[in-house]
Amino acid sequence: MREILFKGKRIDNGEWVEGYYYKMSETTYCFKEDYERKPVPEHHYILQERMTDWGLPNQIVQIEIDSKTLCQFTGLCDKNGKKIWENDIVKTVSDIYAHVKFGLYTTGFALEECNQGFYVDFSVKTYLRHELGYWNNKVEVRGNIFDNRDLLQEESDE
């Protein structure tokens, strides 16, 4: 079965947590006008399973995260076996850094063809392939755009 995992930074201490994503509104209104008058705050959580004791049911723990840091696992690993997440910064065999994104992209060869999925967005102009699946065993995860944005900046400055 395919693993659909997410990670995000905790609201309380800024540490990364992995698990299953869940979004919850504080309340539900009956009429659209009520939402327009007073928007409902939303909370974003990563859910994890926690063992209690032998033979007892496990618990589900919800950890509130900053929604701006939410990243989805791509299902792929780098050349060292490390998971590749959306918003990671990877280094290619050509020592070029790239930002892992999800969305519409061109293949790099045909400008009119458009694909959707996880792809690498290079920090410099290049004609290299953008499909993440092509690069998964050829790249190394070096950080992410939240903690290591300077990796992309250094590359574009050169």
- Tens digit of pLDDT for each residue in 99-121? 999 998 877 665 666 888 999 99
Find the Cα–Cα–Cα–Cα dihedral 116, 119, 121, 127, rounded to 10°: -90
- Tens digit of pLDDT for each residue in 55-102? 899 999 999 999 999 999 999 999 999 999 999 999 998 889 999 999
- The pTM (predicted TM-score) of the whole model is 0.85
If you average pLDDT over every residue of the chain, what do you get? 88
8/144 Cα distance (integer angstroms): 12
Q: Catalogue all structural domains in the chain, each as residue range(s) with its CATH number.
A: 6-67 (no CATH), 70-157 (2.30.30.290)
Work out the number of other CB atoms within 10 angstroms of the CB of residue 123: 19
Describe the strand order of the beta sheet including 71-77 as a list of residue ranges.
59-64, 42-50, 16-25, 6-9, 71-77, 83-85
Largest CA distance in the chain: 58
